[in-house]
Amino acid sequence: MKKILIISLVLIFALTAVIYAAPGDTNDPIVVLSYLNDRLTSLVKEYNLDDIKEIKEQISNLSGNPIGNPVSGSSSSELVVVEIKAGEKIIAGAGTELILRSGKAYAIGSKLGGLSDVTLAKDITTGKPITSNDLLIVPRDDGRGVYTETSATFMVRGTYEVVK
């Protein structure tokens, strides 16, 4: 009988501590939704995370062209057909892919090198002709691209600017 009484008292004291513990308190290990909401709200305010939505909207509104104010330009993850007239240039951003489909075009390089022709596995420097249907990659955003003396058609993936 004494054992049952002792066990009963121990259980009563243990349950009393749990019953009177505040939700989310150190005595109550169960995390409640209101505690999580309050904590997340305070972290959002502390780290100025409210601005993330505004920043995302600004990024989505940008044209994606880091080069400047293009006459016509684009940034795309798919290949886009770009037709340029005689005397025009395509100045491409870093990582942009170019494929000459028709016409004659010449490379515009920089002090650090030219365009990477991955089909022929060589570097095409300034003034050198571009071979049709070869995949060219612009390694840096330093003014590299292509120019034509006649009209030409390119397939372009990435950031570019058409300059007259």
Question: What are the pLDDT digits (tens) for 62-103?
Answer: 645 444 334 455 566 788 999 999 999 999 999 999 999 999
pLDDT at 17 over 70: no
Is 108:130 a contact under the CB 8 Å cutoff?
no
Q: What is the pLDDT of residue 72?
A: 52
Question: What per-residue confidence (pLDDT) applies to 47?
Answer: 79
Q: Considering the entire predicted model, what is its pTM? A: 0.55
The domains of the chain, with CATH numbers, are 2-61 (no CATH), 72-163 (2.60.120.1030)
Task: Name which residue leads in pLDDT, 48 or 158.
Answer: 158
Mind listing the pLDDT tens digit for each residue in 108-122? 999 999 999 999 999
Give counts: helices (H), strands (E), the chain.
3, 9
In the chain, % of residues over pLDDT 90: 47
Nearest Cα to 38, choosing from 18, 24, 21? 24
CA distance 89 to 74: 14
Q: Are 146 and 87 in contact (CB under 8 A)?
A: no
Place of tokens 């501590």: 17
